[in-house]
Amino acid sequence: MAGLRGRRCAVKQFTTHAVLNRLRLYSSNTLQHKSVLMKAEASATSGNGEGTTKRCHCRLCFVPAYLVPRTSTYHGRSVGRSSSYMCNLCGVVLCCEPLKQGGKSCHDLWHERRDLAALASTSRKHLLHHRENEDEDAKRRKENAKKARLVRSTNS
C-alpha cells in the first residue's frame, strides 16, 4: 500500500478498486486503521533527518483550485488542511482533527462511510464554508476594532 502514499486521486482509486475499498472499510482485532506520523525522507531534511515530519494535504477534504466555485473568495486557489498523519494500512494522508467541535475527523469518516465520492464532496463543501466563515469573522473583528479605536479617539 505504500505506493498510494501522497497520490492525488486517492478517493477515485479507493472508490473504483474493489480490493482497496474493502481494505478501507475492513477492521479487526489484528488489522486496525491507525493514524501514524509521516517521517520525512533524509534527503528532504536538513541535517540528520531525525525528528522531522512531512506535511501533506488531507486527501478527503482538500479542494483543488479547479473545484473552488467562482463565487468563493478562494476562487483560483486550492483550499485544504495539511496533516502529518496517514493511515497505517491505506497509506493515505488524512487529517485527524475534526472540522467542527463534536464532529468526526477525516480519518474516522474515511473508514466508516461506504460512498467515498459523496463523502469527499461534502467534506470539501464543509471546509470551504468553514474557511469563508472564518474570513468573514476575522473581517468583522477587524472592523469592530477599527470602530472602537475611532470611538476612543473621538472621546479623548
The CA–CA distances, whole Å, from 112 to 2, 26, 35, 107, 131 equal: 21, 9, 15, 9, 25
| Cα–Cα distance, 2 to 17 (Å, whole number) | 16
Overall pTM > 0.85: no
SS3 83: strand
pLDDT tier, 35 (very low <50, low <70, confident <90, very high otherwise): very high
- What average pLDDT does the structure give for the chain? 82
Task: Write the pLDDT tens digit of every residue in 136-152.
Answer: 877 888 888 888 888 88
pLDDT for residue 7: 55
pLDDT for residue 149: 83
Give me the torsion for CA of 83, 89, 91, 92, rounded to 10°.
-50
Average pLDDT score over residue span 57-77: 84
